[in-house]
Amino acid sequence: MMIPTIAFFAPSVQDLLLIAIVALLLFGPKRIPEIARACGKAVKEFHKAKDEITDELQGKNEEIAKKDEKNAVPDQDADKSKK
């Protein structure tokens, strides 16, 4: 019997509850919202940087495609069929 890889690494409800209790004991109830806010901002900045890099790479790809299209050697068979 094969065990699905994703299900194998997915935390259960008990695991998440244990993590929440440990975090509460380590940081206290007042620091948890601050930490969650900081994590949210970090994730938002990461996605923003990822999107900027993706947009820049797509722009470069389009630029290269236009340059290749402009510098493309005409097909000789197409020229012969026109004559």
Q: Per-residue pLDDT tens for 27-73?
A: 898 998 999 999 999 999 999 999 999 999 998 888 888 888 888 76
- Count of alpha carbons within 13 Å of 20, Cβ hemisphere only? 8
pLDDT for the residue 75: 62
Q: How far apart are CA 23 and CA 31, in angstroms?
A: 10
CA distance linking residue 73 with residue 21, whole number of Å: 67
Instruction: Give the pLDDT confidence score for residue 6 in this predicted structure.
Output: 62
pLDDT at 72: 75
What the block records as the tokens of 35 is 């930490």
| Residue 10 DSSP one-character state | S
